[in-house]
Structure 1
Amino acid sequence: MITIEQTQNLLSIAVLGEFSLADFRQFEEHALLMLKSPGTVNLLFDLRDMLSYTVDVVWEEIKFFRHEHQHDFSKIAVVTDDQWITWQAWLSRIFVDAEICVFADYAEAKTWVTTV
C-alpha cells in the first residue's frame, strides 16, 4: 500500500507493507500528471515501512526511470535504513540524471529535496 502527497513540484510517496504493481501504477499516474506541468519535479520516497516489493515492481521501475523518464526528474530523495535499498539507489545514479540521495531521517530528506 502507498500514500501519495503532491505539491507544486514535489511528489511524496510512502510505502507501507508490500509495494505492489498496483501501487507502482498509482505512483506512475501521479508522476506523469506532474511531468506535464512546467518546472522541475522532485520525488520523495519514504521506504521505512516497506516490508517487501514484488518482482514486477522492479521491472516497471527499470522501465519507468531508466528508459522512459531518465531525464525528467531533478531530485530524488529516498528515506530508508535498509542497506539493500541504499545500494539500489546508489546504482540508479548510473541510469538517471536526477540527483539521488538516501537518508535515514525523513525531515532531512524533505529539506534536501525541496531546497533549490
Structure 2
Amino acid sequence: MLQILGQTEGNVIATKAIEKLTKSDYAVLLPVLINRLQTYEKIRWYFEMENFQGWELKAFWQDVKFDVQHANDFEKIAMVGDKKWQEWMADLMKPFTNAEIEFFELKDREKAFEWIKKAIE
C-alpha cells in the first residue's frame, strides 16, 4: 500500500510504502509525479518504507518504466527505512540518476524531511 503524505507540497512528494507496492498503488502515484513534473523542472521525493516487502511484479515493472523515462527529473531522493537491503537499494539507484540519494533510518525521518527540503549547495 502507498500513502501520499501531507508533507507533499511544491516540488516535494512525500510517500509511505507499507508492506508491498501494487500496480494500483502506481495508478495513484504516477499521476501525482507526472503532475509535479509539469509544474517543476525537478522534483524531490521522500520515500518512507514501513514493513516494506518490495513490489508485486506488475508494480515493479511500472516503477522501472517510470524510473527509466524520468531518471533525470529527480533532484533529491530520501529513502527512509529500517532494513539493510533498503539501504543497499538506495545505493544501487545512484548510478541510474543524477539525483542526490540518501538513506535514513526510520528513527531519523525528521532529519530526512529537513534534508529533502534543503536547497542543494
TM-score by length of 2: 0.86
Which runs of 5 or more residues in structure 1 are unaligned?
A: none
Aligned partners of 2:41, 2:94: CA distance in 1, in Å? 21
Partner of 1:63: 65
Deviation track 1:5-35 (CA, whole Å, cap 9, x = no partner) reads: 3201110011123211111221111000000
Of all paired residues, the percent bearing the same amino acid is: 25
Deviation track 1:61-82 (CA, whole Å, cap 9, x = no partner) reads: 22111x2001101000000111
Give the match's secondary structure for 1:17: strand
Partner of 2:81: 80
Q: Quick check: which one's helix share is greater?
A: 2
Q: CA RMSD in A?
A: 1.4
Query: Higher mean Cα deviation, 106-115 or 42-51?
Result: 42-51
Which runs of 5 or more residues in structure 2 are unaligned?
A: none
Residue identity matched to 2:17: V
Determine which of 102, 110, 113 is the counterpart of 2:113.
110
TM-score by length of 1: 0.90
Moved over 4 A (4+): none
Aligned length: 115
